[in-house]
A and B are shown apart, each in its own frame.
Chain A
Amino acid sequence: MYLLVLFFPLISFLTLSCFGRFIGKDGIITIALMCMFLAVTCSMFCFIEVGFFGYFCIIPLLSWFNLNILNLFWCFYFDTLTVIMLFVVTFISFLVHFYSISYMEKDPHFIRFISYLSLFTFFMLILVTAGNYVQFFLGWEGVGLCSYLLVNFWFTREQANKAAMKAIILNRVGDFFFLLALLLIFFCFKTFDFLVLYSISEGFEFISFNLNNTNYSIMTFISFFLFLAAVGKSAQIGLHTWLPDAMEGPTPVSALIHAATMVTAGIFLILRSTFILEYSEFNLTLITLFGGLTALFASTTGLFQNDLKKVIAYSTCSQLGYMFLACGSSNYSVAMFHLYNHAFFKALLFLGAGVVIHGLNDEQDMRKMGGLFYLLPFTFVTMFVGSIALSGFPYLTGFFSKDIILETICYKYNFDAFFCYILAALAAFFTSFYSFRLLVLTFLSEYKGSKKIFFNVHEGDFFLWFPLFVLSFFTIFIGFISKDLFIGFGTSFWLNSFIFSNFFLESSEFLPTYIKLLPLIFSFLGIILSIFFYTYSLTFSLKLFNLTLSFKNVLLKNIFIFFNKKWFFDIIYNKLIVYFILFMGYEYTFKIIDRGLIENVGPLGIIRFFFYLTNSFSLLQTGFIYHYFFIIFFGSLLLIFFFYLYIYNVFFSLSFIILLLGMVILNLIFLKKIKIIPFILFK
């Protein structure tokens, strides 16, 4: 039952990719949905058995590779952390499969799309159920690959190609650090197994290695590299630029990969490696800082974006920052709770945006939308539910986890945590601001696009609205339902998933009321201001946020450009790194090494050399017998020479050769065939 969760998506992928053409569209839909539904059922079973009944489960399936001291197994590891992710991944994946049946209906590559989705689900499940770091890495790379394939799904679009390349290259940076972490883990612990690492890591806290007469704690290094890997995958500040660009892919992909599951793999890595991270105070501080900065950065950038999906993408980035924040303050269960909640309402927001884009004939620019409240009422309701959950409206899903993150970080009472608290509280304000900006610009304000499109706007069919309905149900209730289970007082839900050093969860209940209310006030302020800005003073807000070129005030214009251009991250990266690497790659690696050295020594050089050699050898074949005899004669002389050289010595063989040659010359003189100079002199 446990392994079936993994195998149903694989079966779906293999069937669709191999026989999809012969089965037909109805068959494809049936198989994919059936497989995914069964996977959801099995994962719910796992959730109940592991989560509620507390049966921790390990399945060592096969031997993978067996080197001298490295014995690796296909080991599947089902603890609470895994089963939560299993449920989230299979559930969202099922809904997204369901949704894409209608969304991708007209696409000629429908089969490919569904099979990629199934493959992605399979790799994500490999990642979450991995029992050792190498298997984890397999899943990690697999989801990266599927992300590339799905972002680049419409491969004829140049923007999609660029975005996919960017996604995979920036992910490679993280993967590189992951590999370094793997090497260090093996160097230090001689194992990759989570269970063994969990047991022994405590003894390695003060183990250090010496470099340049300085001692470095090995735990700090391992956790630093793991942290950087997580930064790459979870799109934290610095390596985040791929996530907004990845919105070039189809919307279901954005919902599944770039909101609910794949981007949370970095958080999952951190949650999985608590037994290493917990022993490095430095890295926890770093994680906190990165989380806070990302939360603020992404939410401010989201304020000024005009693309509907990019706003939601930056919101994802910001929420991932919140999760990092919770991880950094050692509130792992809270981070997991936020991940779990965020998956539902962010998938909901993306799928709702998909309906809007679908209805508006693939229009993504918010400046050309508006007034859709009357045409897409159901979508508006679901998007509204998602948005208020995102901004932390009380008793909706986002509220429980987001509030507790802010409270615990506030209670930590050290400088970096308090700094990050301020950042995160501001981010909460901006989050509610851009969520309602999105809602107002899309649904409530006047329609600003073309008339032709407006008359064709329609609500989606059953396949489109049903996932929205289910997800909005979850968005409203799941936080309330599972709050006590996840972060309730003295919950035994987590078994041994984390090393708990989490003392703030209970004590944060005793914060002063005004601090507890502060995030709430901020989000309400954001909502009210946003509605005020975009409905009652639309002309002003248009001036401020939409029409860049009409600015009279240079400072305002510069501020606007700064946020609209995403804090200039892309430009700085391009100018400093990308152009330099491109130049080096073309001028040196490509021109000198690839097409110069390797080409001339390698294939082309060998061809030229042998061409020359065969040409010169074929000159030897003249067709005249006496030429051949000449060669045979001198060849045999040489042979004799070397033969005597081998047996006697140089003088003997030389004298022998000279004797033979002398005889030849004597012969020639007798035959009067050559007229050499001494001969003439004798005359």
Chain B
Amino acid sequence: MFYMTQNLFIFFPVLYLFFIGLLGIFIVRRNLIIVLLSIELLLLSVNLNFILFSCLNNDVYGQLFSFFILTVAAAEAAIGLSLLVIFFRTKFIISVDTISILKG
């Protein structure tokens, strides 16, 4: 925690990326594809975070873990796109505003 405050500036790009991802999810309402992209961006920022920490700690496990995250991100993108396709087939639209059937 100590050097995190010392080298806070290193994490700014990471945070920047992360918040762009977050805002992309809850501000962009038009397109489901952009939401998916934002999720990808979130995962990337997390990945970057891992790599930065592994460099700071002189520990290779963080970099190793980023590979796993990349695989997970790829799988997630595939699932998300397939969901998108199914959604488009049923509703003929991919606007996020229309996805409210999650409500119980």
Where the two chains meet, the residues of A that have a C-beta atom closer than 8 Å to any C-beta of B are 621-627, 629-630, 633, 647, 660, 663-664, 667-668, 671, 673
A625 vs B27: C-alpha distance in the bound complex, in angstroms?
11
11 further A-B pairs in the complex, CB-CB below 8 A; given A622-B103, A626-B26, A647-B1: A623-B99, A623-B100, A623-B102, A625-B35, A625-B96, A626-B27, A626-B29, A629-B26, A633-B26, A660-B19, A667-B16
- B15: nearest residue on chain A (CB-CB)? A663
Q: Shortest beta-carbon distance, B5 to chain A, in Å?
A: 9
Chain B residues within CB distance 8 Å of chain A: 1, 15-16, 19-20, 22-23, 25-27, 29, 35, 96-97, 99-104
Closest to B12 in A: A663
Q: Are A621 and B103 within 8 A (Cβ)?
A: yes
Give chain B residues whose Cβ lies under 8 Å from the Cβ of A630: 26
Contact yes or no, B19 A627, CB < 8 A: no
Chain B hits for A625, CB < 8 A: 25-26, 35, 96, 99, 102
Q: How many Å lie between the Cα of A625 and that of B29 in the bound state?
A: 10
Q: List 21 A-B contacts (CB under 8 A).
A: A621-B103, A621-B104, A623-B99, A624-B97, A624-B99, A625-B35, A625-B96, A625-B102, A626-B26, A626-B27, A629-B22, A629-B25, A629-B26, A633-B22, A660-B15, A660-B19, A664-B23, A668-B23, A671-B23, A671-B27, A673-B23
Whether A627 lies near B26 (C-beta < 8 A) is: yes
Residues of A contacting B20 in the complex (Cβ-Cβ under 8 angstroms): 667
Nearest chain B CB to A434's CB is how many angstroms away? 82
Q: Which of B19, B26, B100, B102 contacts A663 (CB 8 A)?
A: B19
Contact (A622, B100) CB under 8 Å given A660-B15, A663-B16: yes
Partner of B23, one of A623, A624, A667: A667
> How far is A471 from B96 in the complex, measured between Cα atoms in Å?
99
Q: What residues on A are CB-neighbors of B35 within 8 Å?
A: 625
- State the CA gap A623–B35 with chains docked (Å): 16
Q: Nearest-CB distance from B12 to chain A (Å)?
A: 8
Chain A residues whose C-beta falls within 8 Å of the C-beta of B102 in the assembled complex: 623, 625
The answer to whether B103 and A668 have CB atoms under 8 Å apart is no
Minimum CB distance partner of A652 in chain B: B5
CB distance from B84 to the nearest CB of A (A): 13
Q: Tell me, in angstroms, the Cα distance from A673 to B100 when the chains sit together.
A: 22
Question: Which of A623, A647, A667 is within 8 Å of B103, CB to CB?
Answer: A623
Question: What is the distance, in angstroms, from B73's C-beta to the closest C-beta of chain A?
Answer: 18
Q: How far is the CB of A458 from chain B (nearest CB, A)?
A: 80
A8–B20 Cα distance when bound, in Å, is 90
* Nearest opposing residue in chain A for B99, CB measure: A625
A51 to chain B, nearest CB (A): 83
A668 near B96 (CB under 8 angstroms)? no
Q: Which residue of A lies closest to B38 (CB)?
A: A629
Interface centre among A622, A629, A668 (most CB of B within 10 A): A629
> Would A623 and B101 count as touching, CB distance under 8 A?
yes
A-side contacts of B16, CB under 8 Å: 663, 667
Residue of A nearest to B25 (CB): A629
Contacts of A660 in B (CB 8 A): 15, 19
Q: Is the CB of B19 within 8 A of A626?
A: no
Q: Which residue of B lies closest to A661 (CB)?
A: B19
A663 vs B13: C-alpha distance when bound (angstroms): 11
Shortest beta-carbon contacts, A-B, top 4? A623-B103, A623-B100, A626-B26, A629-B26
Instruction: Point out the residues of chain B lying under 8 angstroms from A623, CB to CB.
Output: 99-103
Instruction: Name the CB-closest residue of B to A631.
Output: B26
CA distance A667 to B38 in the complex (A): 13
Q: Is the CB of A667 within 8 A of B26?
A: no
The distance from the CB of B30 to the nearest CB of chain A, in whole angstroms, is: 11
Task: Give CA–CA (A224, B35) in the complex, Å.
Answer: 88
**Which B-chain residue is minimally distant from A627 (CB atoms)?**
B26
Contacts of B15 in A (CB 8 A): 660, 663
CB neighbours (8 Å) of A624 from chain B are: 96-97, 99-100
Output the nearest chain A residue to B24 by Cβ-Cβ distance.
A671
Give Cα A334 to B1, complex, Å. 97
Residues B19 and A664 in contact, CB atoms below 8 Å apart: yes
CA A668 – CA B26 in complex, angstroms?
A: 12
CA distance A266 to B20 in the complex (A): 90
Cβ of B25: which chain A residues have Cβ within 8 Å of it? 625-626, 629
Residues of B within 8 A of A668 (CB): 23, 27
Question: How far apart are A663's CB and chain B's nearest CB, in angstroms?
Answer: 6
Q: Is the CB of A667 within 8 A of B19?
A: yes
**Chain B: which residue is nearest A633 at the CB level?**
B22
Q: Which residue of A lies closest to B16 (CB)?
A: A663
Q: Which B residues are CB-close (under 8 A) to A664?
A: 19, 23
Q: How far is the CA of A629 from the CA of B42 in the complex (A)?
A: 13
User: Closest residue of chain B to A621, judged by CB?
Assistant: B103
Given A633-B26, A664-B19, A664-B23, is A626 in contact with B96 using a C-beta cutoff of 8 Å? yes
Q: What are the residues of chain A within 8 A of B22 when measuring CB–CB?
A: 629, 633
- Whole-angstrom CA separation of A630 from B23 in the bound complex: 9
CB of A233 to closest CB in B, whole Å: 66
In the complex, what distance in Å separates the CA atom of A622 from the CA atom of B26?
13
Nearest Cβ distance between residue B7 and chain A, in whole angstroms?
15
Q: How far is the CA of A629 from the CA of B38 in the complex (A)?
A: 12
Tell me, in angstroms, the Cα distance from A664 to B15 when the chains sit together. 10
Expressed in whole angstroms, the minimum distance between the Cβ of A661 and any Cβ of chain B is 10
Q: How far is the CB of A653 from chain B (nearest CB, A)?
A: 12
Bound Cα distance from A627 to B27, whole angstroms: 9
Task: Name which residue of chain B comes closest to A636, CB basis.
Answer: B22
Query: Which residues of B have CB within 8 Å of A629?
Result: 22, 25-26
Cα separation A199 to B100 with both chains bound (whole Å): 87
Query: In the complex, A576 Cα to B28 Cα: how many Å?
Result: 79
Query: Smallest CB–CB gap between B18 and chain A, Å?
Result: 9
Q: Smallest CB–CB gap between B31 and chain A, Å?
A: 12
A660 to chain B, nearest CB (A): 7
CA distance A566 to B23 in the complex (A): 91
A673 contacts B101, CB within 8 Å? no
Chain B nearest Cβ from A625, distance in angstroms: 7
In the complex the two chains form, what is the Cα distance from A625 to B15 in whole Å? 22
Report the minimal beta-carbon distance from A657 to chain B, rounded to whole angstroms. 13
Residues of A within 8 A of B29 (CB): 626
Which single residue of chain B is at the shortest CB-CB distance from A626?
B26
How far is A633 from B27 in the complex, measured between Cα atoms in Å?
12
